[in-house]
Amino acid sequence: MCRRLYLKILMMAVLLLVVAGQAAGQQRWKPIAVPWTDSSALKPDSSNFVTASFIVISPGEEIYSNLGHATLRMECPSYKLNYCFSFETDIKPEDFLRFFAGEANGHIVAVPTGEFLAPYKQEGRQVKQYVLNLTPHEKQELWRMLDNDMVSDERRKFNFLANNCVSISFGMVEDCLIEEHIDYVWPQCMTLDNGDYVRYLMKKSPWMRFLSITLLGTESDVTWDNHDRLAPSVLIPIEQKSRIVGLDGTSRPVLTGKSLELLPLRHQLSPASKASPMVVFGCLFLLVLIITVLEWKPGLKRPARITDAVLLAVQTLVGLLLIYMSCVASLFGTHWNWYLIPFNPLPALIWLIGRRRAHFGKVYLLYTVVLVLFILATPLSSQLDWEHQLVTATLALRTASCYLAYRRQRQAAHPHPHHKHRG
């Protein structure tokens, strides 16, 4: 058994030498020294011939690293093999729309561990390792699966549901088990609906949270399967309490031994900006309120006209993005989005077609009523929150003012006859 295992590991080494040069992407890093997890002599049962571990990296400053990163580390000291298998996306600047469409290609790459950790050391991010409690055969199968996936021409479409760094690593460990399964213990936060779960995960990234909730749509109100809601911050709490269960009912922990800190945390993340969505859109509402009040003073209508033009343009562009994300893209899956009610191209289209009609001002009243009802519906959906509704309130403020201006013009053009007084 050991001899066959040695041969297979040697074949894996050849595969790694062929493809590992692609793993570091466009930039190569000077490798750092990383000790073996288990450098002791080979045990008679070969249980320490290969070590498999989860690697979890703390969040970074960039928006794409706000949630951290997770990968698998595979080691075979006998053959000097020490690699991290990471799920990466082929993102280029021109692929921006493909990313938001859920069409960005992703695949597993193998990077020498010292080289993989080098950029995280430079960024001062913490890297911790958790050894998996797998049998020798299961570790062999896991390595074989990772190698096969790496050299395959097949590419996965990255999305926030099933195909991301955590779910791929998580799923690989599940699939390598032989006549066993994992009995999971899910943390309390994973009982939340999707909207509140996203708010929990991104509580330190208010603008990322705002954008995610904006695009999540009615998926905010449901609860996906927990396998589709994995994130680096919940991966280890799940695995620490879960157990691998065999057909005979015997079980063992998913993780073994103590965690290892491969890199210490040397850089504290910048505190969340005080210019949060609530603050920014609150200031926007107050500014538009001042402009609206000044609009009713002689000679001060121009700022209101400019504000209306800007708001209509932004509303239309945001509406087109939401239609694309809700009906075409698969980053979150196609679904209805409640914010298509206040943000859609229809108001701009109606304005272009009917603005010269005599009774067009009544459209402002209708839209004001729609916006006010939408604000009142905030408690009915997990997607709706007051950060977003401040923007809706700003639109409602301007449509109400436009309707009042229309009423004033109508009254000036058609004054009511004065009551006759007795002489």
pTM: 0.80
Average pLDDT on 305-324 reads 93
Three-state secondary structure call for residue 335? coil
Of 149, 158, 121, 136, the closest CA to residue 33 belongs to: 121
- The pLDDT of residue 245: 97
- Residue 262's pLDDT is what? 96
What percentage of residues in the chain have a pLDDT greater than 70? 83
The stretch 304-329 carries a mean pLDDT of: 90
Phi-psi region of 120 (alpha: psi -120 to 50; beta: other; left: phi over 0): alpha
Domain ranges of the chain: 2-181+254-263, 277-413
CB 394 within 8 A of CB 280: no
State the maximum Cα–Cα separation within the chain, in Å, rounded to a whole number.
122
d(C-alpha 293, C-alpha 300), whole Å: 10
Backbone angles phi, psi at 363, to 5 degrees: -65, -35
Read off the pLDDT of residues 146-197 as tens digits, 9 standing for 90 and up: 999 888 766 666 666 556 788 888 889 999 999 999 999 999 999 999 999 9
Q: Is residue 261 classed as helix, strand or coil in its secondary structure?
A: strand
Residue 28: predicted pLDDT = 67
Which pLDDT value is given to residue 326?
A: 81
More confident residue, 31 or 29: 31
pLDDT at 408: 85
Strand runs labelled E in 301-354: none
User: 159: closest CA among 97, 105, 210?
Assistant: 105
- Of 223-232, 243-252, 298-307, the range with the lowest mean pLDDT is 223-232
Which residue reads 């011939």 in tokens? 49
- The answer for residues whose C-beta is within 8 angstroms of residue 187's C-beta and 6 or more apart is 234, 237, 238
